A = this chain, B = another copy of it.
Amino acid sequence: MDVLNNHVTIRKFKSKPVEPELLDSILYSGTRASTTGNMQVYSIVVTTDENKRKELAPSHFNQPVALNAPVLLTFTADFNRFSKWCTMNKAEPGYSNFISFFTAAIDALLVAQNVCVAAENHGLGICYLGTTTYNAREIIKTLELPKLTFPVTTVALGYPNENPGLTDRLPLKGVIHHEKYENYSEAQIRELYAHKESLESGQQFVKENDKETLAQVFTDVRYKEKDNLFFSDKMLEVLKEQGFLESSS
């Protein structure tokens, strides 16, 4: 399937806005994704206003792509709307808890990927911003997200102004297991990651960051334990603030 197989992340966009009818058509395709019990417990906040995008940018660590894209889509787990509907219909909603958050997050993420596929099918380019969960509290404030909602990912969207090549992937056998999980031997790991380690881009990362191995670029520079622990605590705090950590005990 060409649209899926040719996916590349786009970080430079033309200034041309995305036509509202096209955007609606893409978002509609998103909403056709499966959701738990067909409850559709997600919302999508569309940001096109330049000032609002500037307001969001620090929450995405001012990545150039966050400012450069004409559209930001914030995919949000949302049990607020559904709970309101319950309350209005003599039903007591019970969704202030972790499994409900995760259910809503799944809904939001499947919709997000459908939206990306639809966008690329129409010649648009996309970039996922993984910063969303790191700075959920700030995004919640900027987008005025109420209790029982939580932003899980953001997609930057627009007409591509670059044409990058396909990026590397592990061999298929590296991510697939048959019947049960077969844990990896050292020899297998070496084989699976050999191509990634051989790439010039990776070797440049190693050199630029004065590291010995590509793995160290990930552990010491890009995804450090200290940061991960900080953002883990923060995300759990924000889940609590948003009303998603009620406990039975």
Contact = CB atoms under 8 A, between A and B. Distances in A.
Given A29-B4, A40-B170, A109-B109, A91 B220 contact: yes
B95 A181 contact: no
Nearest to A223: B37
A66 to B, nearest CB: 15
A203 interface: no
A82 B196 CA distance: 12
A222 to B, nearest CB: 6
Interface stretch (A44-52, A57-65, A157-165): A44-52
Interface string A92-115: 111101111011011001101110
Given A81-B189, A114-B117, 10 more contacts: A4-B118, A5-B29, A31-B172, A78-B175, A85-B215, A95-B223, A142-B180, A146-B183, A229-B247, A233-B248
Interface of A: 1, 4-7, 9, 24, 27-34, 36-40, 42-49, 52, 76, 78, 80-82, 84-86, 88-95, 97-100, 102-103, 105-106, 109-110, 112-114, 116-118, 121-122, 126-128, 130, 133-134, 142-146, 149, 152-153, 166-170, 172, 174-181, 183-184, 186, 189-190, 192-193, 212-216, 218-220, 222-226, 228-233, 235-236, 246-249
Contacts of A117: 1, 4, 113-114, 117
A190 B39 contact: no
B216 A230 contact: no
Contacts of A235: 98-99, 102
B99 A134 contact: yes
A89 B231 contact: no
A172 B24 contact: yes
Given A29-B5, A247-B233, A84 B184 contact: yes
Contacts of A32: 4-7, 166, 169
B31 A175 contact: yes
A6 B5 CA distance: 21
B93 A219 contact: yes
